[in-house]
Structure 1
Amino acid sequence: MIAVVFGLLSATLLVLLVIPALYVLFDDWGWARGTQHGSDG
């Protein structure tokens, strides 16, 4: 029972906090695809 609770909690934190934070960091570093700033014309 406790393992299920911690599994759901860790999965929720991973989806809601860690993945968006990594995406923001990758966007700042220029690693995210399709985010060429200032190349619209």
Structure 2
Amino acid sequence: FLYTRKLFVLLHANIKKKNKTDKNDLEISRKRMLDYKERFK
């Protein structure tokens, strides 16, 4: 669990760095994160 959480934080930070204005990308990453959470339950 700790590992996956670290992964999420890293992913989120990378996305924020990459493009602060692209909200579509953020939405996609959020959906992807939810998918991962469901998978790792």
- What TM bracket, shorter-length normalisation? 0.3 to 0.5
Higher relative CO (CA 8 A, sep ≥ 6), structure 1 or 2?
Answer: 2
* TM-score using structure 1 length: 0.44
Indicate the structure with greater helix content: 2
* TM-score using structure 2 length: 0.44
